[in-house]
Amino acid sequence: MNDDQGGLFAAPEAPPATITAGLPRPTAGAPLAVRMRPATLEEIVGQEHLLESGSPLRRLIDGSGAASVLLFGPPGTGKTTMAALISAAAGGRFEALSALSSGVKEVRAVIDAARRRLISGTQTVLFIDEVHRFSKTQQDALLDAVENRIVLLVAATTENPSFSVVAPLLSRSLVLQLRSLGGPDIRKLLLRAAADPRGLAGAVTIDDDALDHLEKISAGDARRGLTALEAAADTALSDADRGGDEAVAVTLAHVESAVDRAAVRYDRDGDQHYDVISAFIKSIRGSDVDAALHYLARMISAGEDPRFIARRLVVHASEDIGMADPTALQTAAAAAQAVQLIGMPEARLALAQATIHLATAPKSAGVVAAIGAAVADVENGKAGAVPAHLRDGHYAGAAKLGNAVGYRYPHDDPGGVVTQQYPPDELVGVDYYVPTDHGHEREIGPRLGRLRNIVRGRR
């Protein structure tokens, strides 16, 4: 046999493990998100915390582990991809069930087939999507097969498995949490899809502003981003007059047209960032709740950091409302806490509630004016000695120095207020806080007048 014959009839080299060992090979007409499903471990992005060397998932995909797995994470983060890679590594049969369309009968049929395969040495990897939708009975039907490794279970869920999966199944499985993809991860996938032969094969390029918009509307979901790119690319290619093999640019207009969602002109590092937040605060200050909600919606839609919005609401609650409605600060602070605890998109409700509260609340700049005047006096040198009777007296020898001597304890007085000098000598009689007659300050004003008269000995 000559070399040519040897080359012709020699057994082909084994290809690297790819996802097609677990899932059907996508056809040319399959959606872009399906065609671009990672074929190797190296193509997965955004889940580095699960794929580092020696990690449980890495060992499973490398074929050196045999635990059942619950993959928990948002849509479009790679749960199905990882299930297929585990199947490829296991070298067995891949079976997939959906909790939306499968019952106990289908589960038992798969397990019976897996038991027969195991006799001949073939492992079955059972992938169940949306496992949180399985009833307790359906989940219980899996227990024996999982425990005895009749099947290697890989289940995916968008819900916290601690609350949606029965405890016995949870204890028999390795729970791994996938994260939403970050902006750089989404951009990497989109650019890869534009160039890869499996995807758009270089037929298009993506303008920077179009890429920015695709990243935003993806919201961490790779499938959503790739679907939007495919629609935008179809629009661009149908609009183009292609005279050669030059790539067609996918523009922002193509993306807006394809996904029926306009890009919000908003640069988080430029003028729009400052202009919109300025208009937002001024609308609240002006008690125009509808305009305030509009600007809030623009910031949310543009992907503004919700913590930044929350901080501005907290500041505004004291800056422009203050004691006219003391609950405004509580609402704003609660919204800021909700942003931290819940995150977006749900936290937008708390931000909207705080915006409505602040915009419709009575307004007062009394807090700003009061602290501003006090700080101005201090900065101008009006910071005299603390009156001796107010100084600390909790140490030996304080009385000999006259410290804390003669201090009147207000609670000893039936009214709870006594005549006594509190400010330094040069500031006696200075009024910093001047309440308005708006909201709660309407009640504070007369009370403040009575308090000052008592404290300053004018009653």
Residue 199 contacts residue 38 (beta carbons within 8 Å)? no
pTM: 0.52
Task: Quote the pLDDT of residue 63.
Answer: 62
Q: Which residue has the tokens 């227990």?
A: 143
**What's the 3-state SS for 372-416?**
HHHHHHHHCCCCCCCCHHHCCCCCCCCHHHCCCCCCCCHHHCCCC
| Count of CB atoms situated within 10 Å of the CB of 423 | 16
pLDDT in tens, the chain (459 residues): 444 433 333 333 333 334 444 555 666 678 888 888 888 777 888 888 887 877 777 777 666 666 788 888 888 888 888 777 777 776 668 888 877 777 788 888 989 999 998 888 888 888 888 888 888 888 888 888 888 888 888 888 888 888 888 888 888 888 888 888 888 899 999 999 999 998 998 889 999 888 888 888 787 888 888 988 988 898 888 877 655 578 899 988 888 877 765 444 444 444 566 788 888 999 999 888 898 998 898 888 777 888 999 999 999 999 999 999 999 999 999 999 999 888 888 899 999 999 999 999 999 999 999 988 888 888 888 888 888 887 887 877 777 787 778 888 889 888 888 888 888 888 888 888 888 888 888 888 888 888 888 888 876
Closest to 302 measured CA to CA, from 339, 331, 277, 284:
277
Task: Quote the pLDDT of residue 12.
Answer: 33
Task: Quote the pLDDT of residue 454.
Answer: 83
Give me the DSSP letters along 22-63. TSPPPPTTS-HHHHTS-SSGGG--S-HHHHSTT-HHHHHHTT
Q: Residues with Cβ < 8 Å from 376, sequence gap 6 or more? A: none
Cα atoms in the Cβ-side hemisphere of radius 13 Å centred on 398: 14
| CA–CA distance, 161 with 175 (Å, rounded to integer) | 8
Angle between helices 183-195 and 208-218 (to 10 degrees): 120
Domains of the chain in start order, with CATH, are: 19-177 (3.40.50.300), 183-259 (1.10.8.60), 271-360 (1.20.272.10), 381-455 (1.10.3710.10)
Task: Quote the pLDDT of residue 349.
Answer: 94
Instruction: Identify whether 16 is preceded by a cis peptide bond (ω within 30 of 0).
Output: no
Task: Quote the pLDDT of residue 85.
Answer: 76
Task: Quote the pLDDT of residue 171.
Answer: 86
Residue 184 contacts residue 192 (beta carbons within 8 Å)? no
